[in-house]
Amino acid sequence: MKKIWLLIGIIIVAAGLITWRFFSNPAPPEKITLINPLGPAAIPVAGISSNQVQGDVPLEVQFWKTPDEAVALLAADKAEFAVLPITEAANIYAKDINIKMLGVHEWKVFYLAATGGVSFEGWDSLKGKKIYTPHGRGQTVDILIRSALSERGIDPDRDLEILYASPQEIVSLFKAGKMDFAALPEPFATLAIQGGSGSIVLDFQEYWGKTNNIPERLPVAGLFVKKEFFEKYPEITQDVSQVFAQSTDWSNENADQALEAAGEVLPIPEPVMKTALSRIDFYFVPINKCQEEVEFFLDKMHELYPQGISQLPDEDFYSR
């Protein structure tokens, strides 16, 4: 009799465990969408988009052209994961779109180029000169330039001209000799100096590291996940994060294949892009190993230009 009751007890416990596993582990979605910016950022996801790197759940990569498009897709729950610039992600989070940061994968991309015949011997060299940088006031390089000048008693708005245009327009003006300096991300820095029209004179990542006594890198962009998905599917989130890291590594190790795979969404000649990659650092660092760097970066950007980051994210922004 005791054996029968023992057997019944085992069956009940087993049934309970099965029921618990069924309800506590929801069925995985059939497909997961990762939205990624057009441009050089297509390189790290080339392993995924070309099916060279795969995880347990199918991962589809879609590309966004503008931050507003990325915001719309996330707000409408049309994507579970997103590659975003760190500053843009902080502003998206401030709009009550609940995302969590999984890690940083883009660390090096910004450079100062001088046209032929113009020398750079420190920030004083910019006095009386004309410098172009992309888009408008408050983007990362603009903030870094203005901060560096102000620290040396140079008024960015009076002692020189800082002008804004699209990266493509800046490249054309640079080659035409219509400016002295251009502060650009890659691959536009390479396009600008192509053919001997100028040279790279400053690495902004090196400047950032030496100025702040930290590693010579900038947390430019990273991988994010919708908070609801993160909480519902922690194991799948970890799998996607690992696949993303593996894809980044694959692209670094197979540059030619990655460039070919990303060719359809990279409107840059392959030789130019290959040269630009020598000045871009892509490698995935999980947020638990770089949160302090990200917080320091956002704090400084907010301090130097509060209008650029309206509100610093709280601890829930990070997926530790």
Amino acid identity of 300?
K
The pLDDT of residue 137: 86
The region, left, alpha or beta by phi > 0 then psi within -120 to 50, assigned to residue 311 is beta
Q: 22-26, 38-42, 247-251, 305-309: which has the minimum mean pLDDT? A: 22-26
Residue with tokens 């947020």: 287
Checking DSSP bridges between strand 161-165 and strand 130-134, what pairing results, if any? parallel
* Sheet with 32-37, side-by-side order of all strands: 59-64, 32-37, 81-85, 221-226, 99-108, 281-286
Specify the pTM.
0.88
* 79-110 pLDDT per residue, tens: 999 999 999 999 999 999 999 999 999 999 99
* 168-211 pLDDT per residue, tens: 999 999 999 999 999 999 999 999 999 898 999 999 999 999 99
The pLDDT of residue 5: 58
The pLDDT of residue 6: 52
Confidence of residue 27 (pLDDT cuts 50, 70, 90): confident
* 230-250 pLDDT per residue, tens: 999 999 999 999 999 999 999
The pLDDT of residue 8: 59
What three-state secondary structure class fits 145? helix
Peptide bond between residue 85 and the one before it cis (omega within 30 degrees of 0): no
Domains located in the chain, CATH noted: 32-107+218-317 (3.40.190.10), 110-212 (3.40.190.10)
Q: Is the pLDDT of residue 270 over 70?
A: yes
Q: Is the pLDDT of residue 1 over 80?
A: no
Mean pLDDT of 14-43: 72
Q: Is the pLDDT of residue 135 over 90?
A: no
The pLDDT of residue 19: 43
Q: Is the pLDDT of residue 269 over 90?
A: no
The pLDDT of residue 21: 42
Confidence of residue 267 (pLDDT cuts 50, 70, 90): confident
Give the span between the Cα atoms of 219 and 230, in whole angstroms.
Answer: 22
Residue with tokens 């996801």: 45
* 8-21 pLDDT per residue, tens: 555 554 544 444 44
Structural Rg of the chain based on CA atoms: 23
